[in-house]
Amino acid sequence: MRCRTCGEKAVINMRQHKLALCTAHFLAWVPEQVERSIRRYHMFTHDDRLLLAVSGGKDSLSLWAILTRLEYTVDGLYINLGIDGGIGYSAHSHDCAQNFAREHNLKLHVVDILKDYGETVPELAMRTNRGRHKPCSVCGLTKRHVMNLLTKHAGYDVLLTGHNLDDEAAILFGNTINWVGSYLIRQGPVLEADRPGLARKVKPLCRMYEREMAAYALLQGIKYIHDECPYALGSTSIYYKELLNKIESDRPGAKLSFYLSFLQARRSGLFSPSADERAELVHNCPQCGQPTSAPGLCIFCRMFVNVNERLDSSGMEVL
């Protein structure tokens, strides 16, 4: 297999794009694709203050490297969830994020859930009975809360996440199989900050296959955490990814087409918010100020009614 651009030996064959490339041309191709998505979906410009949620995994660290190469100024946010799972998951992912930031001279905000809120995410899930077996719902709630709060408090214009096409297709598959209209209407490359207090969120890797991002991280020599979160084992999202991989292997390009066709359907008005959804977030939490659906404390703050420490700018370590 030869590189389509220069004829040298190819290192990757992307059947979905009918494209094989050598190392040098693949490493140039990926940032071009990401830049194209940023422009196509009007995600941000070089003048915006950008905050990237960094997990220590291949996608977010590769995205940080790509955006730096494209000369965007992006700070990182790492949230230490306090997950061990017998493999020191949070400690290891924290190291990966921190080392990457140091090596590339980038600014990383660190929010440590145990230090800042007094409990790890698994402990919080146990105490509040919101996840005796898996803390994923508490984890998702916590991450969304912290990301939103820091983006707004620290004056960033846009919050970026490293979701790739495989992630988006799996989420879409789950939302479609259950016909969750309120999620379908909000899924996309850009989620506008349509309520005061909410951050604008974008996903610059939404058209990049997971395999392409793994190859990029490997060829760039990015040191990332290879382990999945221990709680992800056996999750439905992994099951959906496996199903979609089977379809993709028979029909290259199926994942991309599934996602892009959905975006097209959404643009043409196939999904529209109900009156209830439009009126959803009309109150503000008296504790953290974030929008909520009912008067009083938001769901996140209600989990901490007995814990005095609250996240504020002095509670965050900035590297």
Give residues in contact with ligand SF4 (CB under 6 A): 135-136, 139-140, 229, 231-232
DSSP, collapsed to helix, strand or coil, labels residue 219 as helix
316 lies in the binding site for Zn ion (CB under 5 A)? no
CA-CA distance, 199 to 278, in Å (whole number)? 17
Distance CA 134, CA 126 (A): 9
Classify burial at 50, counting beta carbons within 10 Å of its beta carbon; exposed 0-12, middle 13-18, buried 19 or more. buried
176 vs 235, beta carbon nearer ligand SF4: 235
- Residue ranges in 275-294 that form contacts with Zn ion under rule CB under 5 A: 285, 287-288
Binding partner selected for residue 232 from Zn ion, ligand SF4, none, CB under the kind-specific 5 to 8 Å limit? ligand SF4
The number of CA neighbours under 13 Å toward the Cβ of 138 is: 26
In contact, 20 and 9? CB cutoff 8 Å: no
CB under 5 to 8 A by kind: which of Zn ion, ligand SF4, none does 286 bind?
A: none
**Which does residue 139 bind out of Zn ion, ligand SF4, none, counting CB within 5 to 8 angstroms by kind?**
ligand SF4
State which residue, 140 or 196, has the beta carbon closest to ligand SF4: 140
* Min CB(301)–ligand SF4 separation in Å: 19
Report the alpha-carbon distance of residue 142 to residue 301 in Å, rounded.
10
Beta strands 291-292 and 50-53, pairing class? unpaired
Interatomic CA distance for residues 88 and 229, integer angstroms: 10
In the complex, minimum distance from the CB of residue 284 to ligand SF4, in angstroms, rounded to a whole number: 26
Q: How far is the CB of 231 from ligand SF4 (least distance, A)?
A: 4
- Least Å distance, CB 96 to ligand SF4, is 14
Number of residues that bind Zn ion (CB under 5 A): 5
Q: Is the CB of 193 or the CB of 232 nearer to ligand SF4?
A: 232
Min separation Cβ 29 and ligand SF4, Å: 30
Given ligand SF4, Zn ion, none, residue 285, with its beta carbon under 5 to 8 Å by kind, binds Zn ion
Least Cβ distance, residue 150 to Zn ion (angstroms): 14
Rounded to whole angstroms, the Cα distance separating 189 from 159 reads 12
User: Alpha-carbon distance 262 to 218, whole Å?
Assistant: 31
The 126-165 contact track toward Zn ion, x by CB under 5 A, reads ----------------------------------------
Three-class SS state of 300: helix
Question: Rounded to whole angstroms, how far apart are CA atoms 55 and 162?
Answer: 9
Tell me the C-alpha distance between 190 and 46, whole Å: 17
Binding range to Zn ion, per CB under 5 A, among 11-19, 64-72, 112-120, 297-305: 297-305
DSSP summary character for residue 199: P
> Which is closer to Zn ion, CB of 206 or CB of 301?
301
Looking at residue 9, the DSSP 8-state letter turns out to be B
Compute the least distance from the CB of residue 63 to ligand SF4, in Å.
17
Q: Which stretch binds Zn ion (CB under 5 A): 1-9, 30-38, 208-216, 301-309?
A: 301-309
Q: What are phi and psi of 216, to 5 degrees?
A: -65, -50
C-alpha 139: how far from chain center: 13
Tell me the C-alpha distance between 118 and 304, whole Å.
9
Closer residue to ligand SF4, CB minimum distance, 4 or 115: 115
Shortest Å, Cβ 3 to ligand SF4: 37
Binding site for Zn ion (CB under 5 A): 285, 287-288, 298, 301
